[in-house]
Structure 1
């Protein structure tokens, strides 16, 4: 009598690998969810940092409101009128300008008189180097005023600081601003 062959041991253990696969699948699924959650947290963190940086940049870019101390009025030093020939590239034109310098205090205004010949010389050189087209716009006149402030403070021993790109900035010297009372190009 022949006995029925017994199934090989591997066939009897076939259902056992299914739980191992489901455990591996479960572990992979949990790991994938954890990775996705971690990536989402990183993205949210980066977005919040970017938002706070843009808010800081907006705060820095907001112009500071200048307050005026009414107990200490500003001091202005009027300059004699300038009449110069402008650069001849655009034809024979001249500039007549009357200006005043705003200085830090009255004592500085008094001390400025000793430097006036050199200050007038620097302003004359600057004005005569300009083209009429450079001075016909508000931006051109504002740039001219800033350049006069830089040069005048340079005469007084306060050289202009350099920015990262090599351009000169307006120093915090005794001359704070140039104000044009009259500006005629003919």
Structure 2
């Protein structure tokens, strides 16, 4: 049963997006897959960056084109997660970040939303002709590794970045 849908962020969701950011900040969590929301000083600054980075012609230096979506719970229209699809990989993303980053707010975890979010994002990857998707996670993040494996991820290897060990999974879409 479909519990969520992925939608492009709009001004309509500004309050919910800022509440989402606040929940992560209060809990000291990492906001993966939010297209820089953690560093943005305002919704408008973040949204402007999101729009710029959505096209090859306007992508900001150091970034790759990407599509960012809100995971909206269908029954009450609450933002429960965010997911970012990077259309191509640069050197850093190839090693550590992957094609897809995502997060679920702490109050909504352990409800299988991440599995559904990743599944829906993989369909969007097909729409933009990405044939093989790299999804990474911290080795300590067991829930994320289970989410990736559930969606067809095959562990290629683990790489170190300082003290952190990143697991690199590939998902073939065709």
- With the length of structure 1 as denominator, give the TM-score of the two structures: 0.20
Higher helix share: 1
Higher strand share: 2
Larger-Rg structure: 1
- With the length of structure 2 as denominator, give the TM-score of the two structures: 0.20
